[in-house]
Each structure stands twice: as C-alpha cells, then as structure tokens.
C-alpha cells in the first residue's frame, strides 16, 4: 500500500479538492475523451427527464451537476461534497441558484428526505472495504426510486485495491444486502482510440484506461 493510502481518507480528498479542478483540465486528451464517452453513455441510456428530486454525492466542481440540472431540471437538487473548495468552485461553474450546495461528508449528511435519484460519479470506488457497506446502506436509505453510480469495474480485479484510494467492490452483492429490487451493471464502451491506448500500455506492462461501469439500482 502506498504511503498516501495510509493517510486519513477524508483529509486526502479535502486536500485534493483544492487542486482537482486544475487536475481535470490538465489530464491527457485520452482521459478527457474517456469522460466525454462516460457522459454520453449515461445520458443516452440512463437518464429519465421526469425525475423531480436529485441528491448528488461527491459533486466535485460540478461537472455532472451542471449536466443533470440543465437536462432534467428537477424541482429540487442537492449536491454535497467533502471539500469546501470544490463546493465553491461548483457554485461558480454551475451558476444555478436553485441547487442546494452543501459541504459535508456523506456519512454526516442528515436528511429525512428521500430523493427520486441518488447519483454518484467515481465515488464508491474511493471508499475502502471496511466502510463501503455503511456507505451503500445510506445511499439506499436516501433513495425512493433509483440510484446511479459510475465506478471502476473490472471483474478480475474484484476485491483488489490500487494506488490513489481505488477499491474494486462487488457492487451487486453489497447493494442486494440492503433489499434493493434490482442491480443492473453496464460496462461503458471504450472508443477505438481508448482501446488503442490500452493495447499500447499493456505492451509496456503499465495500467491503461481503467474500465468503468454504470451501476443502476432500483430501490
């Protein structure tokens, strides 16, 4: 385990939140293409415009907040993130006074409300094995209809952990512990360019573009 993996997870993401916006735009072009492919796959296959309320967990600087709020235009939208720096950037990036931005650990978020959609992008993959059950149980408790999460998903890596706080969970097994109706896992396709990147990095015995899936849960 790398040194940073021994540090406090909350501190790691709070500190990283101050530089994440710049990190996003400084990524290689193939990583930005991966994210655009991810967005298109989500919008083409999973988004119901009849959703009236959304809770977004780990909104970051508001990349998906802006996309979902503009396309769905729900009656209420709550976006939370552990990093106050990220929340302040999200307010400026999204520019929507109807969205309730909250700085909070998800575990500390207290709400009696249930949401039509609970959404999280690349969040569960950063929750370690000892905490993932409680985290997912809370996701389920706050949803009255659907949960959508985008996460690292490579079946051969199930149960493994990589640097940068990346954990490969058995999402179907964990969600079903908490009585959900259905768990649907769909792999996000790679473009021809991203397949070429993976082939090249494999030849060099390096890690290429991590495979991701959209996990859709009916509560």
Domain 3-218 belongs to what architecture? Answer: 3-Layer(aba) Sandwich (3.40)
Q: Which residue has the higher pLDDT, 72 or 1?
A: 72
Q: What is the mean pLDDT of the chain?
A: 86
Residue pair 185/215 in contact by the 8 Å Cβ criterion: yes
Burial class (CB in 10 A: 0-12, 13-18, 19+), 11: exposed
Enumerate long-range contacts of 203-209, CB under 8 Å, 24 or more apart.
207/162, 209/30, 209/31, 209/34
- Name the pLDDT band for 194 (thresholds 50, 70, 90): low
The tens digit of pLDDT for each residue in 173-183 reads 999 999 999 99
Return the DSSP state at 5. Answer: G
106 pLDDT band (50/70/90 cuts)? very high
Which sequence spans correspond to the domains of the chain?
Answer: 3-218
State how far the Cα of 101 lies from the Cα of 90, in Å rounded to an integer: 8
**Mean pLDDT of the region 97-106:** 96
Nearest to 35 by CA among 6, 67, 58: 67
Q: What's the pTM?
A: 0.87
Lowest mean pLDDT among 3-12, 103-112, 148-157: 3-12
């Amino acid at each position: 385990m790398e040194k940073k993996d021994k540090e406090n997870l909350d501190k790691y993401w709070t500190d990283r939140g101050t530089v994440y916006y710049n990190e996003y735009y400084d990524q290689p072009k193939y990583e930005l293409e991966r994210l655009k492919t991810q967005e298109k796959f989500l919008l083409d296959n999973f988004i119901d415009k009849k959703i009236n309320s959304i809770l977004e967990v780990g909104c970051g600087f508001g990349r998906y907040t802006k996309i979902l709020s503009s396309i769905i235009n729900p009656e209420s939208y709550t976006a939370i993130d552990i990093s106050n720096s990220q929340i302040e950037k999200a307010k400026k990036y999204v520019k929507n006074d109807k969205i309730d931005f909250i700085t909070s650990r998800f575990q500390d978020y207290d709400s009696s409300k249930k949401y039509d959609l609970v959404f999280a992008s690349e969040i569960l993959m950063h929750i370690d094995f000892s905490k993932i059950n409680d985290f997912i149980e809370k996701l389920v408790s706050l949803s009255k209809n659907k949960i959508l999460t985008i996460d690292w998903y490579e079946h051969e890596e199930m149960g493994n952990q990589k640097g940068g706080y990346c954990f490969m969970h058995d999402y179907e097994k964990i969600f079903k512990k908490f009585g959900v109706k259905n768990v649907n896992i769909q792999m996000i396709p790679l473009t021809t360019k991203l397949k070429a990147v993976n082939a090249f990095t494999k030849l060099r015995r390096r890690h290429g573009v991590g495979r991701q899936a959209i996990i859709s849960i009916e509560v």
